[in-house]
């Protein structure tokens, strides 16, 4: 047997290193900025109570339970740590850089959007707090990279999809919908252009009702059209 063959044989007989699976969730909500008062993107973080990264902030998450599928594990872990049960929960990406953790851990990351009526203002214990998403400090593991990826995804997707519904009640005005887009994108939008573009997408429809109790001309209410009822190619 040659040296090369010997090396190959040794590699074949070696015990493979284990890889652990974890599930984490990036949760976005719109809240007033503490200085400007304008709505901006916030997210909850959990303070780690064990090594590695003891005492540092991290995304809500935990090991993947053998009996749970990915989405169920993400929802369970999120509710256990933050008390949130978001309507919108979508798989974002898998993060598996070999150096992201002292152990070999691959994280399946979900992201969630919560509206004002779902947003839990009170932290669940002293180890959960809300932060302005664009102003967070150094997080544990590679969670800064994950948050940045999720923010980019949100700001891109809101320009071509009806994802804004995750921040809104079932019925809303065009001004409220525009406000969500402005808060996510961080810039003002022309009301007339926004109205024309949104109505042309086929994502929303008028409910036939208006805001009750409004003075002068009450604004019309709209709702998102379910995907199965939209006329899409």
The CATH number of the domain holding residue 182 is 1.10.10.10
Share the mean pLDDT of the chain.
89
Domain end call among 110, 144, 178: 144
Phi first, then psi: what are they for 28, rounded to 5°? -110, 135
Mean pLDDT, residues 167-180:
97
Residues 201 and 87 in one domain: no
Angle of the 143-157 helix axis to the 174-185 helix axis, nearest 10: 140
Mean pLDDT, range 161-178, rounded to an integer: 96
Examine residue 13 and state whether it is found in any structural domain, yes or no. Answer: no
pLDDT at 226: 93
Question: Residue 43 belongs to a domain with what CATH number?
Answer: 3.90.79.10
Q: Is 129 inside any structural domain?
A: yes
In a domain, residue 8? The reply is: no
**Tens digit of pLDDT for each residue in 144-154?**
999 999 999 99
- Tokens at 10, concatenated: 């040794």
pTM recorded for the entire structure = 0.88
Cβ–Cβ < 8 Å for 53, 100: no
Which residue range forms the structural domain that includes residue 28?
Answer: 20-144
- Note whether residue 9 is domain-resident: no
Each residue's pLDDT tens digit, 87-124: 889 999 999 988 888 788 999 999 999 987 777 655 56
Residue 219 lies in a domain: yes
Question: Would you say residue 11 lies in a domain?
Answer: no
pLDDT of residue 10: 46
Band the pLDDT of 6: cuts 50, 70, 90.
Answer: very low
Q: Which of 94, 112, 144 is the last residue of a domain?
A: 144
Q: Which of 202, 201, 205 has the alpha carbon at shortest distance from 222?
A: 205
Both 78 and 25 in a single domain? yes
Q: How confident is the model at residue 8 (pLDDT cuts 50, 70, 90)?
A: very low
Q: Is residue 5 part of a domain?
A: no
Q: Do 24 and 118 belong to one domain?
A: yes
**Does 154 fall in a domain?**
no
What pLDDT score was predicted for residue 209? 96
**What's the domain count of the chain?**
2
In this prediction, residue 152 carries a pLDDT of 98
């Amino acid at each position: 047997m040659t040296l090369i063959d010997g090396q190959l044989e040794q590699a074949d007989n070696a015990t493979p290193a284990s890889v652990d699976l974890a599930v984490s969730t990036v949760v976005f909500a719109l809240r007033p900025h503490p200085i400007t008062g304008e709505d901006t993107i916030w997210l909850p973080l959990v303070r780690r109570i064990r090594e590695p990264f003891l005492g540092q902030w991290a995304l809500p998450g935990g090991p993947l339970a053998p009996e749970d599928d990915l989405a169920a594990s993400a929802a369970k872990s999120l509710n256990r740590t933050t008390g949130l049960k978001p309507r919108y929960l979508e798989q974002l990406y898998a993060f598996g850089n070999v150096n992201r953790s002292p152990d070999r851990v691959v994280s399946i990351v979900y992201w969630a959007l919560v509206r004002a009526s779902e947003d839990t203002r009170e932290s669940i214990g002293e180890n959960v707090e809300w932060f302005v998403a664009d102003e967070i400090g150094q997080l544990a593991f590679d969670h800064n990279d994950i948050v940045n990826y999720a923010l980019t995804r949100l700001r891109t997707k809101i320009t071509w999809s009806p994802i804004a519904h995750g921040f809104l009640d079932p019925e809303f005005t065009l001004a409220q919908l525009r406000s969500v887009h402005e808060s996510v994108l961080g810039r003002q939008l022309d009301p007339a252009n926004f109205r024309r573009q949104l109505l042309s997408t086929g994502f929303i429809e008028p409910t036939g009702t208006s805001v009750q109790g409004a003075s002068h001309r009450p604004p019309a209410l709209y709702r998102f059209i379910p995907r199965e009822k939209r006329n899409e190619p």
